[in-house]
Amino acid sequence: MSQGAKKDKYEAVIGLEVHVQLATRTKIFSISSAAFGAEPNEHTDPVCLGLPGALPVLNREAVESAVRLGLAVGSHIRPRCRFSRKHYFYPDLPKGFQISQYDEPLCDGGVVTFRLNGEVRQIRLTRIHMEDDAGKNIHDASGVSFVDYNRAGVPLCEIVSEPDIRTSDEAAEYVRAIRTLVRYLGISDGNMEEGSLRCDANVSIRPWGETKLGTKAELKNINSFKNVRDAIEHEIARQTVLLDRGEKVVQETRLWDPDRGISASMRSKEQAHDYRYFPEPDLPPVVVDEAWLDRARASLPELPEARHARYLGIGLSAQDASVLVSERPIGDYFDAALAAAPVHPKKIANWLINEVLGRVDDPRRLMTDSIPVPPVALAELVELVEKGTLSGKLGKEVFARMWQEKRRAADIVAAESVSLMSDTGAIEDACKRVVERSPDEVARYRGGNVKLIGFFVGNVMKETAGKANPKTVNEILRKLLG
């Protein structure tokens, strides 16, 4: 239950509209670049500027991306769909209408599956439809406004959920799951800070046990996972206060202000646009045949939930599995390392999570040549540690050198003699020295404090500069200590 609503009184009902910018080279209906970061109005053309006589041509790559997304969430892909004009007037929409899909979306239904607090959650989808993006209004501090049309015409998929979400945490994890999925599919970078993934939330509350939906408010301008939580919490609290006062919630659209942590009314239901939808006359219907669907299905990677289940099946913890599936390259790295050392899944996962990821600023780089320790090299290091050639401490030292020098573990061990001591006599001498200078600890150990074995092992490892085999040290000490 959300903290914003009273647990004994109200239940929140939340539906989300997530806009995913597709990572195509060009815009959805024209040849201008869809890349982010250009100078204002650099990526424009007659079509996205709505100049008279300019005609749209549908980007096939964008449709293929949308089809793959629909298949990944189990949507029904319509064999025939069409675009419509959605009319409204705003400076960032030069055509005076948005080309979207209305009564015939490309994808019907589907489910987004994710985990929250260890439990599997499923949120049903109403639809996934395609549309072009609007430009961006820029308001100067002096009161002057500008418009950048670089984003106008960039391809979007709008993912519309059913009102199945009940808490702000669930909403944030749902959005996170969508970002993970589109990155797995390679159809979007999902960067919320760049606007590649944006979210609108429809929020209402109702008394517990009530089946009728309450009056909803739509929240816009939500551009981070934190803002998803904060905006929904704030809206639940706002509606709770109204109902507790005996007032009514007004159906309206509200703009979330993350800096102030509040929302402000944009327009009420009475001010809502009449979009006057009608079929787009300049675009023919989109036809997706079975051959196209078969190719799209064949191109799908192993999806996050399937990969998570597989990792649990080979003995990984749910927490480790969640880290490994959070970005596709992390799982790809783990699988490549595991293929080289298949008997050590848990050890490889530990080294990857604690050592490799600790040194990588962007996990999406993991399967590139820029990574100093490729998967096979990590697998070789794990094998050396598990064989007893290296201790865990020495293994970490060797790994640090592998990362810095781009050398393999075996080369470092062979060239510089950093492996564990194999001379049992030398190890025994070190153990004897530690025992002889620790009479009090020896007496306590022999008196029953067997946990002191760690004290002796630690001192022997110091004595041998960490090169003694811990297993051998333990065996010799237990004999010496009786």
| Phi then psi dihedrals of residue 402, to 5 deg | -60, -45
Whole-number pLDDT of residue 2: 46
Q: Compute CA distances 466 → 433, 435, 478, whole Å.
A: 16, 17, 19
Tell me the C-alpha distance between 476 and 482, whole Å.
Answer: 10
Tell me the C-alpha distance between 258 and 94, whole Å.
Answer: 28
CB proximity list for 135: less than 8 A, separation 6 or greater:
91, 92, 93, 94, 147, 148, 149, 150, 151, 152
Nearest to residue 466, comparing CAs of 381, 400, 398?
Answer: 398
Quote the strand ranges of 6-66, DSSP E: 10-21
Going by DSSP bridges, is the β-strand pair 252-257/217-222 parallel, antiparallel, or unpaired? parallel
DSSP state of 145: E
According to the 3-state scheme, what is the secondary structure of 367-382? Answer: CCCCCCCCHHHHHHHH
User: Which strand (E) or helix (H) includes residue 371?
Assistant: none
Residues facing residue 209 across a β-bridge: none
Q: What is the separation of C-alpha 357 from the centre of its chain, rounded to a whole number of angstroms?
A: 15
Whole-number pLDDT of residue 3: 46
Structural contact between residues 351 and 381, judged by C-beta atoms closer than 8 angstroms:
yes
| Phi then psi dihedrals of residue 258, to 5 deg | -65, -30
Neighbours of 474 (CB within 10 A): 16
Residue type at position 320: D
Q: Per-residue confidence of the chain (482 residues) as pLDDT tens digits?
A: 444 444 568 999 999 999 999 999 999 999 999 999 999 999 999 999 999 999 999 999 999 999 999 999 999 999 999 999 999 888 999 999 999 999 999 999 999 999 999 899 999 999 999 999 999 999 888 889 999 999 999 999 999 999 999 999 999 999 999 999 999 999 999 999 888 999 999 999 999 989 999 999 999 989 899 999 999 999 999 999 999 999 999 999 999 999 999 999 987 765 556 899 999 999 999 999 999 999 999 999 999 999 999 999 999 999 999 999 999 999 999 999 999 999 999 999 999 999 999 999 999 899 998 899 999 999 999 999 998 888 788 889 899 999 999 999 989 888 766 565 666 787 888 999 999 999 999 999 999 898 899 999 999 888 887 778 778 888 899 999 98
The SS3 assignment for 21 reads strand
Nearest to residue 220, comparing CAs of 201, 192, 237, 236?
Answer: 201
Tell me the C-alpha distance between 117 and 97, whole Å.
Answer: 43
Q: Which domains does the chain have, with CATH numbers?
A: 10-295 (no CATH), 302-416 (no CATH), 424-481 (1.10.10.410)
According to the 3-state scheme, what is the secondary structure of 275-341? Answer: CCCEECCCCCCEECCHHHHHHHHHCCCCCHHHHHHHHHHCCCCHHHHHHHHCCHHHHHHHHHHHHHC
Whole-number pLDDT of residue 269: 61
CB proximity list for 225: less than 8 A, separation 6 or greater:
172, 175, 176, 192
Tell me the C-alpha distance between 358 and 339, whole Å.
Answer: 22
User: Which strand (E) or helix (H) includes residue 151?
Assistant: none
Q: Compute CA distances 59 → 155, 188, 285, 306, 341, whole Å.
A: 9, 15, 13, 31, 44
Tell me the C-alpha distance between 159 and 69, whole Å.
Answer: 10
The SS3 assignment for 421 reads strand
The SS3 assignment for 441 reads helix
Residue type at position 6: K
